[in-house]
Structure 1
Amino acid sequence: MRPLDPRLLRRSRAARGFLAAGGALALVQSAAIVAFAWSLASLVTGFIDGMSMADGVPFLVLLVAAASVRAVAAWVWDVVGSAGATRVKAELRSELLTALEAEPEGLPDFPTARIATLLGPGLDALDAYFGQYLPQLVSTIVVTPILIAMAWIADPLSGLVLVIVLPLIPVFMALIGMATQVVQRRQWESLASLSRGFLEVVGGLSTLLLFRRAERQTARIRAVTDEYRSHTMKVLRITFLSGFTLEFAASLSVALVAVSIGLRLVAGDMMLIAGLFVLVLAPEVFLPLRNVGAAFHASTEGVAASVDAFDLLDAAEQAGRAPVRDTAAAAEIPDAGSGLQLRGIRVVRGDRVVLDGLDLEAGRGELVAVTGESGSGKSSLFAALLGFVPIEGAAQLDGWRLGAGAGADARSKVAWSGQAPALLAGTIASNVRLGDEDADPALCMRACRLAGVELDPELRLGPGGSGLSGGQAQRVATARAIHRLLARDAPLLLLDEPSSAQDADREAALGDALRELAAEGRIVVVSTHRTAFAARADRIVELEPAHV
């Protein structure tokens, strides 16, 4: 049985803190259990020997105090487990999001659906691990040896029996854990497959309805759902079987100790107080192990998710360590003045060179159109300037370095819009002002006018900008980039295919608006396939694949 990927304890400070606090609580629980067993045995044997009620009061007080301390420790365990799970999940999500932000092109083995499942229900399953499984595991490591030692001191023969029979339960747990790990992994993969299939169907729903293929996808979702249900039932079957096995083994072990004590008490070979003390301790010796087995199955989904999380982090680290030829020193700009200046720009995506040897200068007041066939590197150039992909060469804006590793001050000088609108649920105005909500409302109106957004700014959109046509969504995204440009007084505007979904009249109006922005002393760079739109620029830079 694998309790958790050890990388969690190496990476998470919250997890290490949880274990330290858990060890202290386990020691308190051990002392409370021993005190409870000793006071109860003393109280019973004392009354049998004729002890007065007054003489039994100290033992009664100790009995109640020990029970109270144990109850409080169990409550603190719940609080610490809940807080620990929250902190660990926050740390993991922060690391995962940071890793994904550093790899905007994504990782080969981690599609969007798998990542969404991991960040959502996957990490949420760690609640059961920290709230149920890990406390019992710590108790097993700390409490069980202490109780066995106390039982051995009171009665060596009972201690020897406990030492002999106790390893049987971990053996059963290991065998059950190996079987559970296989079916749990399949269940987790089925959940990821179900999420991926559902997202694919939602994303292509309009196309499926158009070509009347929705029913086929309904059958596909039904099949994946049945597969997930089947794997879940297998996990439950193993859970119930393992619970019965562990309970039977623990009960049989306690019975062996009880029979041995009973026979020796009858024969007069053992004192009653020692026998009662060991009889009270014996079930407590096996209780943490039984609870570990019962809680293990509730935590396995979180274990599988944590393995996925660290696999993703390792993959991101490997991608980050991929060798990149550094030509920045060789392509330094000797006299970096104002404007956009690119020297020897080279962009590599995977093992393919998409841009090589690009030189470009654009001054304030210029509108530059970047053209070229698909795959020539237009979008890759923008991604490199924004820091989304590694860039080789020198790229500067008004003396500020651009690209991967650029500071927040440099990034704030660039406003951009990609090919996908990427709108959010809310009003048009909230989408346009995203990131600059405190800016002058008049800037929102001007940005909408320049981008050709003729809709009511208070019109509410659904998730992903639903409720707008493709052209309308594109204009809202362009307005958002223009609003950022105006609100932050940025010198550079990058627009990737801003007129691809526009008719000729709207395309001409957008060209005039961009010339208006350039005339105010800004640099506007657009990528486009449209010849008419490119003709409205001051300069046209035509790219060829891996060569300019």
Structure 2
Amino acid sequence: MRPLDPRLLRYATATRGTLAAGAALTFAQTALVIAFSWLVTQLVVRAIAGEPLTALTPLVAGLAVVVAARGAVVWAVDAVAARGGAAVVGQLRERLMAAVGRLGPAWLRQRSSTDVALVAGRGLDALDGYFGKYLPQLVATAVAMPVLVLVIGSQDLTSGIIVVLTLPLIPVFMMLVGWATQAAQQRQWEALAGLSRGFLDVVGGLSTLKLFGRQHRQEARIRAISDDYRVRTMKVLRMSFLSGFVLELAASLSVALVAVTIGLRLVGGSLDLSVGLFVLLLAPEAFLPLRNVGASYHAAAEGIEAAGRAFAVLEAADAAASDAGGRPVSVAATGLVFERVSVAYDDRVAVGPFSAEVRPGEVVTLTGPSGAGKSSLLAAVLGFASYAGRIGAGGREDPAGRLDAVAWAGQRPGLIAGSIAQNVALGAAEPDIALVRRSLCDAAAPELDHELVLGPAGAGLSGGQAQRVAVARALYRLRAGGCPVLLLDEPTSALDAEAEARLLASLRRVAEKGAAVLVVSHREAVAAAADRVMRVSGAEVIASPAGSNVERKDVAHV
């Protein structure tokens, strides 16, 4: 990431206000620095000349006012930087989460979710150092330094030339040290990501490790990763201290060069004391912003690295959105459409090319042997799997539009700790209890109390009950969100014949009200209740009307 990446202005609009306010405050701070130096110079020169204290009183009062005003402006600069940083971090985190949602689970499964969480959490939090320390100094370098150099040059041309010639030395050293620091910071971030992934893996598999008595072997692994992160962190700190020393040395030598020339000319009588003292007081202030930029760069390095990774995700989401285009599919207005869809895992085609249509008002069953690709097609619709071809749902084929149009329940219920009502109305700010009860009833689970509190992963329910709660969740979303498409993956695999018949009757009523219903199932009763059956079998998809003994080949082949 560059000192001020243009992408920061594009993705976090609060940056613009922060920069504008910071520039205005920095200009005021620079004016107060000049006023402070002038007042001190006048006090010293007039005191040496022997003026009485009464004559110096206005200067002393003015100096007190300037000091107080300068303190207030410094506080305002810090407050603006802190508030702006918090606003920018909030905007970036919100856009990052939205981008991950737009990219979908298929994009996320190709990456480590730990890395994404690290960027969104600790990484963006580290931008506080960027906005609180680095950015104000960068603004001061752009605003204060030119003004101070001009003032010094207008008072003493020789000192101005020296300052102009020596100032570039500091950016050169900053660039050299910055490249090395950036490389070290990237290695440190990778070590931190490895530590996070390793720890998460151990926690996730701890029960299995303990079962086989292998948990102690992971202690050495975690210790080794932690030591690697510690070593890399110390390298970054060592580089930070070294660069601070180099920058301070360069700035001190530059100021000393100005001071020596002023001293020699004062002794020779070619320079007035008031001019020399005024320039001498301003010279360190001219170098100060650049010195602070170099010193604060290391405090912001982690945030800069994380922001660069966040921008990569945001750009990937923008590219995906532009490729999708959000254009409506031409085959159906509100149903579910597959056009030559192929799903592949690790360059191995699992299913496809597949073409089919589920029209509004239909109940269609997708069946076939295990491993034929039925669930993969649903995963492609939901964004859990990458695919080639076109998929439309509710008239939209962009990932976000499809998700808005689909209500679904998978093979695993995916319940959470909480009441049944909270599980059925998952994601709703306030569950509609009447709709929860209706959804449970339509899912053939009227006996379940919506106030019953479940444990983790739905503990407290049988397999069949948990499955029906998951179906009720899909029906709740279908009605509350006005979704035109309902997808169910093996919704009756754990149900008895009576409960299955009641659920299938509910799906028929849902379809009659205009929804396109696609059910993946091996059960004969589900196929018999459907309007059409699509059978995925090795190299082809065969479709037939329900109850017909004559099968015909559909337009799709797998």
> Do these two structures clear the TM 0.5 threshold for a shared fold by scoring above it?
yes
- 1:430 paired to 2:422: yes
Distance 1:194 1:473 in 2: 36
Amino acid at match of 1:36: F
For 1:243, the equivalent position in structure 2 comes to 244
Contact 1:144 1:288 in 2 (8 A): yes
Other structure's SS at 2:534 match: strand
Q: CA deviation at 1:546?
A: 7.0
- 1:418 paired to 2:410: yes
Contact 1:346 1:353 in 2 (8 A): no
Distance 2:390 2:259 in 1: 79
Mapping of residues 107-506 of structure 1, within 5 Å: 110-320=111-321, 328-329=329-330, 332=331, 340=335, 342=337, 344=339, 346-347=341-342, 352=349, 354-361=351-358, 364=361, 368-374=364-370, 376-383=372-379, 385=381, 400-401=394-395, 403-404=397-398, 411=404, 414-436=406-428, 438-445=430-437, 447-448=439-440, 450=443, 457-459=451-453, 461-462=455-456, 474-485=467-478, 487=480, 492-498=485-491, 502=494, 506=495
For 1:512, the equivalent position in structure 2 comes to 501
Amino acid at match of 1:131: G
Amino acid at match of 2:294: G
For 2:544, the equivalent position in structure 1 comes to none
Change beyond 3 A, Cα 1:318–1:282: same
Other structure's SS at 2:213 match: coil
Change beyond 3 A, Cα 1:203–1:420: farther
Mapping of residues 73-88 of structure 1, within 5 Å: 73-88=73-88
Residues 512-535 of structure 1, C-alpha deviations (whole Å, 9 max, x = no match): 34123135343653223x446746
Contact 2:364 2:519 in 1 (8 A): yes
Question: What count of residue pairs does the alignment treat as equivalent?
Answer: 530
Is the deviation greater in 354-363 or in 157-166?
354-363
Contact 2:337 2:357 in 1 (8 A): yes
Is the deviation greater in 234-243 or in 64-73?
64-73
Identity of aligned residues (%): 47
Mapping of residues 507-546 of structure 1, within 5 Å: 508=497, 510-522=499-511, 524-528=517-521, 530-531=522-523, 534=526, 537-538=529-530, 540-544=533-537
Distance 1:221 1:465 in 2: 32
Contact 1:432 1:480 in 2 (8 A): yes
Change beyond 3 A, Cα 1:342–1:306: closer
Amino acid at match of 1:512: A
Contiguous gaps of at least 5 residues in structure 2: 542-558
Q: CA deviation at 1:279?
A: 1.9
Q: CA deviation at 1:353?
A: 7.9
Distance 2:388 2:306 in 1: 33
Amino acid at match of 1:31: A
Q: CA deviation at 1:76?
A: 1.6
TM-score, normalization: structure 2? Answer: 0.83
What CA RMSD, in Å, does the superposition of the two structures yield over aligned residues?
A: 3.6
Is the deviation greater in 119-128 or in 66-75?
66-75
Q: CA deviation at 1:39?
A: 0.9
Amino acid at match of 1:210: L
Distance 1:451 1:175 in 2: 70
Contact 2:425 2:432 in 1 (8 A): no
Change beyond 3 A, Cα 1:385–1:495: same
Q: CA deviation at 1:478?
A: 3.1
Change beyond 3 A, Cα 1:375–1:46: farther
Amino acid at match of 1:48: I
Q: CA deviation at 1:289?
A: 1.8
Other structure's SS at 2:216 match: helix
Is the deviation greater in 515-524 or in 43-52?
515-524
Q: CA deviation at 1:328?
A: 4.0
Distance 2:255 2:392 in 1: 74
Contact 1:205 1:214 in 2 (8 A): yes
Amino acid at match of 1:245: V
Distance 1:384 1:488 in 2: 21
Contact 1:428 1:459 in 2 (8 A): yes
Q: CA deviation at 1:42?
A: 0.6
Other structure's SS at 1:435 match: coil
Is the deviation greater in 429-438 or in 71-80?
429-438
Contact 1:2 1:177 in 2 (8 A): no
For 1:19, the equivalent position in structure 2 comes to 19
Distance 2:233 2:125 in 1: 17
Residues 196-240 of structure 1, C-alpha deviations (whole Å, 9 max, x = no match): 222333333333333433333333222222211111111111112
Other structure's SS at 1:103 match: helix
Distance 1:244 1:532 in 2: 78
Q: CA deviation at 1:113?
A: 1.1
Q: CA deviation at 1:304?
A: 0.5
Distance 1:341 1:286 in 2: 65
Distance 1:223 1:92 in 2: 33
Change beyond 3 A, Cα 1:289–1:212: same
Distance 2:525 2:219 in 1: 43
Contact 2:417 2:453 in 1 (8 A): no
Q: CA deviation at 1:128?
A: 0.5
Distance 1:212 1:467 in 2: 30
Distance 2:143 2:25 in 1: 10
Amino acid at match of 1:526: V
Change beyond 3 A, Cα 1:34–1:378: same
Distance 2:127 2:102 in 1: 25
Q: CA deviation at 1:511?
A: 1.8
Contiguous gaps of at least 5 residues in structure 1: none
Other structure's SS at 2:174 match: helix
Contact 2:328 2:395 in 1 (8 A): no
Distance 1:228 1:122 in 2: 15
Q: CA deviation at 1:120?
A: 0.8
Contact 1:402 1:411 in 2 (8 A): no
Other structure's SS at 2:351 match: strand
Change beyond 3 A, Cα 1:227–1:468: farther
Amino acid at match of 1:495: L
